[in-house]
Amino acid sequence: MISLNNISKKYNMGHVTVNALGPVTLTIHKGEFVAVLGPSGSGKSTMMNILGCLDRPSLGEYLLDNTPVHGFSRTKLARVRNMKVGFVFQSFNLLPFATAYENVELPMLYAKISGKEREHTVKHLLEIVGLSDRASHRPAELSGGERQRIAVARALANNPDIILADEPTGNLDSKSGAEILNLFEQLHADGKTLIFVTHDENLASHAKRIIRLLDGKINQDYTQN
């Protein structure tokens, strides 16, 4: 379960302070399927980064499975990123010199999973995203859609409960985007918590809950069928 309590993020830009996010109070339960929408600059990425422990809030409390992570050290945050959340980026963020296989394997190396188990999991994940035959390809040898599917497989590596995706389809054509969303729906069916940012109302309509941000604050938050 995710619980944000008066979370905000401010940037000091010389004389002025930019309020990028918040204050935001928000609860997301296990197994929810959430789409985050909002105009450019409304704070979507800022919120996702805080949720994914990639960034730390300026103020407020963040409870992740009832653990207050807002005050965690860098090392502890690294563990949370490694084990509890999988993050999918708009620009894929795969290691360019590593193969698809090695990219998916990386979070498991950091989790000190044994070689046998790693091999088993990587193969399984590549199968799920339908890229078993691309295991030894490097990112440059893959299409955008394939790269993002590898990134999704990587996000699943340590079997986290939560998958976060910041505009995962932003760099993809509509067909590849649909494939990614398809994957998300599968994961949702498997009981994962899914939160993704999009500009595409059509894609957002697949989610069960919609959160609309405006100027760093939650403007609308509703469930759809």
Partner 1 sequence: MFVHGFKMISQFIGDMKKQKLRCFLTMSGITWGTMSVILLLAFGESFRIASMKNMSGMGNNIVVMGGSRTTLPYKGLPPGRYIQLREETVSLLKDYIPDIGYLSPETQKYVTLSIGPQKQNNNCVGVYPGYGMLRNLFPQKGGRFINPLDMENRRRVIFIGTQISEKFFAKESNPVGKILMVNGIPFTVIGVMQNKVQNSSYMTQDKNIVFIPYTTCRDVFGAKYVNRIIFKAKNDVDTPKIKENIHEVLGRRLGFAKDDKDAIWMWDTTEMTQFIHYFFLGFEAFLFLGGVLTLIVGGIGVANIMYVSIRERRREIGIRTALGATPRLILLQFMLESFIIMFIGGSLGVLGAWLIVTLFGSPALTGVQVVLGKPVINLNIALIVATVLALTGFAAGWSPARNASNMDPVRALEF
Ligand X SMILES: Nc1ncnc2c1ncn2[C@@H]1O[C@H](COP(=O)(O)OP(=O)(O)OP(=O)(O)O)[C@@H](O)[C@H]1O
Which stretches of the chain bind partner 1, using CB under 8 A? 49, 52, 54-56, 74-75, 78-79, 81-83, 87, 89, 93-95, 97, 106-107, 109-112, 114-115, 154, 158
Q: Residues 38, 86, 168, 177: which binds ligand X (CB under 6 A)?
A: 38
The binding track of 182-201 with respect to ligand X, each residue x by CB under 6 A or -, is --------------------
Residues whose CB is less than 8 angstroms from the CB of residue 167 and which lie 6 or more positions away in sequence, other chains included:
90, 196, 197, 198, 199
Distance between CA 210 and CA 36 in Å, rounded?
6
Reading the block at residue 68, the tokens are: 């207050």
Listed residue (184, 212, 109, 47) closest to 221, CA to CA = 212
Pairing relation of β-strands 85-88 and 162-166?
A: parallel
Q: Which is nearer to ligand X, 24 or 142 (CB)?
A: 24
The binding track of 49-88 with respect to ligand X, each residue x by CB under 6 A or -, is ----------------------------------------
CB of 124 to Mg ion, least distance (A): 31
Listed residue (5, 148, 165) closest to 69, CA to CA = 5
Stretch of residues binding ligand X (CB under 6 A), selected from 11-19, 24-32, 67-75, 126-134: 11-19
Distance between CA 156 and CA 107 in Å, rounded?
9
Stretch of residues binding ligand X (CB under 6 A), selected from 42-50, 111-119, 151-159, 178-186: 42-50
Q: Which does 193 bind (CB under 5 to 8 A by kind): partner 1, ligand X, Mg ion, none?
A: none
Q: Residues 8, 42, 45, 103: which binds Mg ion (CB under 5 A)?
A: 45
What distance, in Å, lies between the first and last C-alpha atoms of the chain? Answer: 21
Q: Which does 55 bind (CB under 5 to 8 A by kind): ligand X, Mg ion, partner 1, none?
A: partner 1
Reading the block at residue 94, the tokens are: 């795969």
Region of 148 please: left (phi>0), alpha (psi -120 to 50) or beta: alpha
Instruction: Map the footprint of ligand X across residues 99-138, applying CB under 6 A.
Output: none
Residue type at position 157: A
When asked if residue 20 is in the footprint of ligand X (CB under 6 A), the reply is: yes
Residues whose CB is less than 8 angstroms from the CB of residue 159 and which lie 6 or more positions away in sequence, other chains included:
none
Q: Which does 42 bind (CB under 5 to 8 A by kind): Mg ion, partner 1, ligand X, none?
A: ligand X
Q: Would you say 221 and 212 are in contact if contact means Cβ atoms under 8 Å apart? A: yes
Binding site for Mg ion (CB under 5 A): 45
